[in-house]
């Protein structure tokens, strides 16, 4: 499709719809993903139909002797699991010798004012741990810091050079300590979807001074996402020989809090031990030497209450360590929490769908969002949703094809507060030629959301009023404070020549100046395609003109092999304020074999060697 034809169709479409914006109240943040219903046999006539809902529980278990040595060679028959004192049927067991489950570890480092004298020591210890624990092409590690801000420095990767850069790029401390918020955020956003054993290793003094969450929230989210917590207190250290690291034997409130975090989730707390490196080595060993048990729990029993787990060994003289339980979800409470009054202009059908605790998929809808730097500290989040054309039910009237589409966009932050909601309605009245394209390709809606730095769930609702189809899609996103880091990248936006096959209701005025084709939520491309990648670089490392090197790499998900790599550079002009520069590159896919991939864009400033990384998964079809 030529650019002229695309713009002509945009013009025709703009003439044929009416656009309105209003405000939409918030559904609060969602909790644990809902369990799936186990199908039961059809009842005989006269029998009452009983629905049984189960939740699968996985238990990583460490077994030691009285001297703390790890014990191997145990079998499934050596273990007994009780939930609320009720014996459970173990339906899966993996011994420590056969455990090839990948390990996903988040290393969280405290950079609050109390760590000022310990920063270098923390960095060296963290990097030593990462090098010890990671198995290339299998395990993944992320690195983050927390003070009054929670900052993801490096997302999950097995590349030691990226982790090394991220760890040693930390140069200064913040103002306060948001320990529990950091645990909550990374359990909820990162560990929940990790396909392997999940652990957070937290290097901190244990004194939380700034979190909105409390210790109970942190324990709850770790238990619900099956994440084991390990903590190392920086109040201990080599008998006081490390500058800023205290020696001592008396545990304070912070130490006791760290111990509770670990005891409740099956991990280990190292406080006042005077052996920092030994603690890290033990954590590495504990995450590679464990048993994995699984069982199904009846979710209908005592929903919304804490389920206590007890693991017993049939062999005497051994000690077992596992998480102590979890909070069972309560679907009734989740439904009640989402009941909100209707917004002006929204139909009862769409309102009811948004009140549902589960996503609805009557319409095939794709959503993506990418944060950019906005005004002040706010982010300008570009959101795109695409509705498949064949699912729309146009009605022909007087030679035109008519339909009405309702769209609701509700961003809800960590505190459950609704921020910058939008309701859009599009009355379509298409001539035959525009209808022929739209009914095949579909419709794309672009929106800009003005969001302060925080983590959000954006709940998107779509209603085809002619056909009655409805879809609701939750989309999780973190909006960073771009002003806090010397070098940052916006979210990655993808497009290709096929993007023009979907009609865009209203082009984004910012991106329209950068690339002629609109952004797409499609993450499946073909070998005949040329994929275009767009991002914005924000560089505050120098007020002088300098260069930023940018590398785009495509890695195969199956084995981490590089399928494509391209290097570019961008010149940042001299400026009295932080500089911003567009990055756009084209990637031909003709030599990329069909399969699943991750696109990684890495920017490195030649001033200060600061690094920023963004990545996005996608698939190549034949």
| Measured distance CA(131)–CA(248) in Å, rounded | 29
Rg, C-alpha atoms of the chain: 26
CB 127 within 8 A of CB 141: no
Closest CA to 598 of 579, 578, 614, 610: 614
Closest CA to 235 of 211, 253, 262: 253
Sequence-ordered list of residues with C-beta below 8 angstroms from that of 484, at least 6 positions apart, any chain? 149, 151
Instruction: Read off the pLDDT of each residue in 249-255 and give the average, rounded to a whole number.
Output: 68
pLDDT at 332 over 80: no
pLDDT at 363 over 70: yes
Sequence-ordered list of residues with C-beta below 8 angstroms from that of 423, at least 6 positions apart, any chain? 20, 21, 22, 23, 24, 343, 344, 345, 346, 406, 407, 408, 409
Helices (H) and strands (E) in the chain, counts: 10, 34
pLDDT at 185 over 80: yes
Sequence-ordered list of residues with C-beta below 8 angstroms from that of 120, at least 6 positions apart, any chain? none
Burial environment of residue 371 by CB neighbours within 10 A (0 to 12, 13 to 18, 19 or more): buried
Question: 47-84: b or e for each residue (b if 16 or more CB lie within 10 Å)?
Answer: eeeeeebebebebbbbbeeeeeeebeebeeebbebebb
Query: 274 falls in which pLDDT band (50, 70, 90)?
Result: low
pLDDT at 575 over 80: no
Query: 4 falls in which pLDDT band (50, 70, 90)?
Result: very low
| Measured distance CA(503)–CA(511) in Å, rounded | 16
What SS3 state is found at 488? strand
- What rounded mean pLDDT belongs to the chain? 80
Structure tokens at 384: 């795109």
Read off the pLDDT of residues 203-215 as tens digits, 9 standing for 90 and up.
987 788 888 888 9
Sequence-ordered list of residues with C-beta below 8 angstroms from that of 51, at least 6 positions apart, any chain? 37, 40, 300
Read off the pLDDT of residues 367-376 as tens digits, 9 standing for 90 and up.
999 999 998 8
**Between the CA atoms of 416, 420, 421 and 426, what dihedral angle is there, to the nearest 10 degrees?**
-160
Strand duo 79-83 + 86-87: pairing? antiparallel
Q: What are the distances in angstroms from CA 120 to CA 110, 163, 278, 590?
A: 12, 15, 18, 46
Convert 291-338 into a string of H (helix), E (strand) and C (coil). Answer: EEEEEEEECCCCCCCEEEEEEEECCCCCEEECCCEEECCCHHHHHHHC
Instruction: Read off the pLDDT of each residue in 289-307 and give the average, rounded to a whole number.
Output: 79
If phi over 0 gives left and psi between -120 and 50 gives alpha, with beta otherwise, what is residue 494? Answer: beta
pLDDT of residue 492: 95
Q: Which of 28-32, 358-362, 552-556 has the lowest mean pLDDT?
A: 28-32
Say how many CA atoms lie within 13 Å of 84 toward its Cβ.
12
pLDDT of residue 548: 92
Closest CA to 236 of 223, 215, 224, 251: 251
| Measured distance CA(244)–CA(114) in Å, rounded | 9
Query: 357 falls in which pLDDT band (50, 70, 90)?
Result: low
Convert 420-480 into a string of H (helix), E (strand) and C (coil). Answer: CCEEEEEEEEECHHHHHHHHHHCEEEEEEEEECCEEEEEEEEEEECCCCCEEEEEEEEEEC
pLDDT at 432 over 60: yes
| Measured distance CA(172)–CA(152) in Å, rounded | 15
| Measured distance CA(416)–CA(402) in Å, rounded | 37
Q: Which of 34-43, 420-429, 538-547, 554-563 has the lowest mean pLDDT?
A: 34-43
Instruction: Read off the pLDDT of each residue in 123-148 and give the average, rounded to a whole number.
Output: 86
pLDDT of residue 199: 93
Read off the pLDDT of residues 7-20 as tens digits, 9 standing for 90 and up.
333 444 333 333 33
> How does DSSP classify residue 113?
G
pLDDT of residue 491: 94
What do you get for the CA distance between the two ends of the chain, in Å? 21
pLDDT of residue 117: 78
pLDDT of residue 245: 43
Sequence-ordered list of residues with C-beta below 8 angstroms from that of 104, at least 6 positions apart, any chain? 139, 140, 141, 142, 156, 190, 191, 194, 195, 196, 197, 198, 199
What percent of the chain is modeled with pLDDT above 90?
Answer: 36
CB 465 within 8 A of CB 404: yes
Read off the pLDDT of residues 39-92 as tens digits, 9 standing for 90 and up.
333 333 333 333 445 677 888 888 988 888 888 889 999 999 999 999 999 988
Domains and CATH numbers, the chain: 1-26+340-484 (2.60.40.10), 103-289 (3.40.50.410), 523-622 (2.60.40.10)
| Measured distance CA(234)–CA(242) in Å, rounded | 10
Query: 497 falls in which pLDDT band (50, 70, 90)?
Result: confident
Closest CA to 381 of 253, 243, 493, 503: 493
pLDDT at 155 over 90: no
Instruction: Read off the pLDDT of each residue in 127-155 and give the average, rounded to a whole number.
Output: 87
What SS3 state is found at 611? strand
């Amino acid at each position: 499709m030529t650019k002229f034809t695309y713009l002509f169709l945009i013009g025709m479409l703009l003439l044929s719809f009416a656009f309105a914006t209003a405000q939409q109240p918030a559904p609060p943040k969602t909790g644990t993903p809902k369990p799936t219903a186990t199908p039961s046999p059809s009842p005989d006539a006269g029998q009452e139909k009983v629905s049984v809902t189960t939740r699968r529980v996985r238990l990583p278990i460490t077994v030691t002797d009285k001297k703390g040595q790890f014990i191997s060679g145990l079998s499934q028959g050596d273990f007994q699991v009780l939930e609320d004192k009720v014996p459970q049927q173990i339906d899966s067991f993996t011994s420590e010798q056969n455990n090839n489950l990948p390990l996903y570890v988040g290393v969280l480092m405290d950079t609050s004012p109390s760590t000022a004298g310990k920063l270098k020591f923390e960095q060296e210890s963290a990097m030593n741990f990462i090098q010890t624990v990671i198995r290339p092409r299998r395990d993944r590690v992320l690195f983050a810091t927390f003070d009054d801000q929670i900052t993801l420095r490096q997302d999950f990767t097995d590349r030691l050079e990226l982790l090394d850069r991220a760890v040693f790029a930390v140069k200064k401390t913040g103002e306060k300590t948001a320990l529990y918020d950091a645990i909550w955020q990374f359990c909820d956003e990162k560990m929940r979807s990790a396909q392997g054993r999940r652990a957070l290793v937290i290097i901190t003094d244990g004194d939380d001074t700034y979190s909105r969450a409390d210790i109970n929230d942190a324990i709850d989210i770790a238990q619900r996402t099956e994440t084991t917590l390990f903590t190392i207190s920086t109040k201990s250290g080599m008998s006081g020989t490390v500058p800023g690291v205290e020696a001592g034997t008396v545990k304070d409130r912070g130490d006791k809090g760290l111990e509770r975090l670990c005891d409740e989730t099956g991990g280990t707390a190292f406080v006042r031990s005077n052996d920092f490196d030994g603690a890290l080595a033990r954590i590495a060993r504990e995450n590679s030497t464990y048993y994995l048990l699984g069982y199904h729990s009846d979710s209908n029993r005592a929903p919304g209450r804490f389920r206590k787990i007890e693991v017993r060994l049939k062999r005497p003289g051994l000690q077992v360590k596992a998480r102590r339980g979890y909070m069972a979800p309560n679907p009734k409470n989740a439904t009640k929490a989402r009941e909100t009054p209707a917004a002006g202009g929204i139909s009862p059908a769409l309102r009811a769908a948004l009140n549902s605790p589960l996503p609805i998929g009557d319409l095939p809808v794709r959503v993506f969002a990418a944060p950019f730097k906005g005004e002040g500290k706010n982010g300008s989040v570009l959101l795109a949703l695409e509705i498949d054309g064949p699912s729309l039910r146009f009605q022909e009237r007087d030679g035109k094809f008519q339909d009405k589409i309702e769209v609701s966009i509700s961003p809800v932050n960590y505190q459950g507060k609704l921020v910058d909601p939008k309701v859009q309605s599009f009355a379509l009245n298409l001539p035959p030629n525009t209808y022929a394209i739209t009914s095949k390709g579909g419709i794309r809606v672009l929106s800009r959301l003005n969001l302060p730095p925080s983590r959000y769930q954006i709940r998107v609702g779509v209603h085809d009023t002619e056909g009655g189809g409805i879809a609701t899609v939750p989309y999780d996103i973190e909006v960073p404070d771009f002003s806090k880091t010397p070098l940052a990248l916006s979210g990655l936006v993808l497009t290709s020549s096929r993007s023009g096959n979907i009609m865009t209701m209203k082009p984004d005025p910012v991106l329209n100046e950068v690339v002629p084709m609109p952004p797409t939520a499609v993450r499946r491309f073909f070998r005949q395609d040329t994929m275009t990648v767009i991002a914005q670089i924000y560089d505050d490392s120098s007020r002088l003109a300098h260069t930023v090197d940018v590398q785009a790499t495509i890695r195969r998900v199956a084995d981490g092999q590089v399928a494509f790599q391209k290097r570019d550079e961008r010149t940042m002009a001299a400026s009295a304020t932080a500089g911003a520069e567009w990055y756009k590159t084209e990637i031909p896919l003709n030599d990329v074999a069909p399969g699943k991939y991750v696109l990684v864009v890495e920017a490195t400033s030649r001033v200060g060697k600061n690094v920023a990384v963004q990545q996005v998964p996608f698939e190549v079809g034949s």
